[in-house]
């Protein structure tokens, strides 16, 4: 396990999606901090993560448990997997701690109960909301909205691509490295405004899952078809 | 060629995307009407279509050329492939002729010059604009926004799926038949509000095309992974 790998905090990391990302990155050798609103929940999730890794034959994973703010302060890079209703509050809480860092925003603006219906916010997307709240000192990159948590939690390969959106190409490139470390292909998807596409697609995939009884994702085709 | 196949009009059918759809459906044996703002342009496009079909060894394709309104009146089902700036005007023109029919809206709300940036309209999507203008007497189904015109125009197979959105399941199912006739897989994508996802994705694919030098599309994965 290399010390040169980034320390990744997953804010709201005790849910299905956060658990999936934590498993993928821990398995890839990253130091992972599970962040939660309460330290107790984070401690339980970290213990579970260690147990799952041991069951997979992986010992000595580097995982810690903290409250969200402490997690954001201790990390080199943060991912956030909270429900849309908690996005703004969590961002306000950790805003100062994120300065100079990349925030991987996985928020999808689902509006229950109609989660299979696209209902984008007036700002355009959750990614844009995050960038507006955090300002220019934080590089918001959105990703992972179209990956089934179910698949992330498993140890094997994933047939789902990840479109990565953010205003800075370098920041997108760093997140694409983390996508690849998690076992998927990542693609530059353009500015944070383009997060509207991936966020909206989540509702479509929820609809497809209900309609066809599956765990759908997307793949980019035509890459070998040179322009 | 079966007489029972629907007569399909392609409004704004002289552009790249309309030309591609016309070729696919003509080749599948459908009666195709090329609609345009001027009959001359439609006549030229129809002649070109016949020539391309003959070059592929397909004789006797049933293709006619008309102005958009006459085309909409003569068709069983209409597809519309006009630039976003012409969507409202074209819809107002053909509104009465579409009553009781399905309109396949292929409009993507690109706002030049930044076509690689998602800029959805305040109504949510071009599909919702169409449904609002046409009212309940017309079943608006959006589709084909993510297929490269370049690929549609070719005769061979296509590695791109089509997400089909509309408020009525029966209308979506009919459009999925036409997607399959054009050589692709079609998927129920939910209500017309969900067209925001496929429309936004077009800008992301334009970005990917520029970034990776390709003609990208999407494919739905995970269908065999039963929930």
What value does the mean pLDDT take over residues A42-67? 96
pLDDT of residue B159: 87
A164-173 residue pLDDT tens:
999 999 999 9
pLDDT of residue B82: 97
Q: Which residues pair with A21 in a beta bridge?
A: none
Residues from chain B contacting residue A191 (CB–CB below 8 Å)? 117
A142-186 residue pLDDT tens:
999 999 898 899 877 788 999 999 999 999 999 999 999 999 999
Does B196 lie at the interface with A, CB-CB under 8 angstroms?
A: yes
Q: With a cut of 80, say whether residue A195 has pLDDT above it.
A: yes
Q: Is A196 exposed, middle or buried (0-12, 13-18, 19+ CB in 10 A)?
A: buried
We find that the CATH architecture of domain A7-212 is: 3-Layer(aba) Sandwich (3.40)
B48-93 residue pLDDT tens:
999 999 999 999 899 999 999 999 999 999 999 999 999 999 999 9
Computed over every residue of chain A, the mean pLDDT equals 95
Say if the Cβ atoms of A204 and B224 lie within 8 Å. no
- CB pairs < 8 Å spanning A and B: 155
Provide the pairing of β-strand A162-166 with A139-142.
antiparallel
Residues from chain A contacting residue B125 (CB–CB below 8 Å)? 118
pLDDT of residue A224: 87
Measured CA to CA, the distance from residue B122 to residue B134 in angstroms comes to 18
Residue A154 carries which DSSP code? S
pLDDT of residue B2: 46
Residues from chain A contacting residue B160 (CB–CB below 8 Å)? 221-222
Locate tokens 């125009």: which residue? Answer: B153
Does B215 lie at the interface with A, CB-CB under 8 angstroms?
A: yes
Say if the Cβ atoms of B221 and A219 lie within 8 Å. yes
Say if the Cβ atoms of A193 and B225 lie within 8 Å. no
Does B59 lie at the interface with A, CB-CB under 8 angstroms?
A: no
Say if the Cβ atoms of A124 and B120 lie within 8 Å. yes
Instruction: Using pLDDT thresholds of 50, 70 and 90, give the confidence band for residue A2.
Output: very low
Does A143 lie at the interface with B, CB-CB under 8 angstroms?
A: no
Say if the Cβ atoms of B219 and A214 lie within 8 Å. no
What value does the mean pLDDT take over residues A76-92? 97
Every domain of chain B and the residues it spans: 7-212
- Compare CB distances from B197 to A159, A200, A212 and report the shortest one's residue: A200
How far does B210 lie from chain A, in Å, by closest CA?
9
Residues from chain B contacting residue A118 (CB–CB below 8 Å)? 124-125, 190, 193-194, 196-197
A202-218 residue pLDDT tens:
999 999 999 999 999 99
Measured CA to CA, the distance from residue B110 to residue B118 in angstroms comes to 7
* Distance spanning both ends of chain A, measured CA to CA: 40
Does B118 lie at the interface with A, CB-CB under 8 angstroms?
A: yes
A98-151 residue pLDDT tens:
999 999 999 999 999 999 999 999 999 999 999 999 999 999 999 999 998 988
What tens-digit pLDDT sequence spans chain B (227 residues)?
Answer: 445 789 999 999 999 999 999 999 999 999 999 999 999 999 999 999 999 999 999 998 999 999 999 999 999 999 999 999 999 999 999 999 999 999 999 999 999 999 999 999 999 999 999 999 999 999 999 999 999 898 899 877 788 999 999 999 999 999 999 999 999 999 999 999 999 999 999 999 999 999 999 999 999 999 988 77
The interface predicted TM-score of the complex, written ipTM, equals 0.95
Residues 6+ apart with CB under 8 A from B131: B138, B140, B167, B192
pLDDT of residue A156: 78
């Amino acid at each position: 396990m290399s010390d040169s790998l980034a320390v990744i905090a997953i804010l709201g990391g005790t849910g299905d999606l956060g658990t999936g990302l934590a498993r993928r990155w821990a398995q890839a050798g990253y130091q992972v901090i599970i962040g939660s609103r309460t330290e107790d929940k984070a401690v339980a999730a970290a213990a579970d993560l260690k147990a799952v890794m041991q069951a997979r034959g992986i010992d000595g994973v580097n995982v810690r448990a903290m409250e969200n703010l402490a997690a954001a302060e201790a990390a080199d890079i943060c991912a956030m997997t909270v429900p849309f209703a908690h996005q703004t509050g969590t961002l306000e809480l950790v805003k100062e701690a994120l300065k100079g860092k990349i925030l991987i925003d996985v928020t999808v603006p689902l509006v229950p109960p109609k989660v299979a219906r696209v209902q984008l916010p007036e700002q355009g997307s959750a990614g844009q909301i995050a960038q507006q709240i955090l300002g220019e000192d934080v590089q918001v990159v959105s990703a992972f909205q179209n990956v089934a948590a179910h698949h992330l939690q498993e140890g094997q390969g994933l047939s789902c691509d990840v479109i990565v959106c953010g205003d800075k190409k370098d920041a997108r490139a760093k997140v694409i490295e983390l996508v690849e470390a998690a076992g998927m292909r990542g693609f530059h998807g353009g500015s944070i405004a383009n997060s509207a596409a991936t966020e909206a697609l989540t509702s479509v995939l929820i609809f497809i899952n209900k309609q066809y009884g599956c765990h759908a994702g997307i793949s980019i085709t035509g890459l070998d078809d040179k322009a």
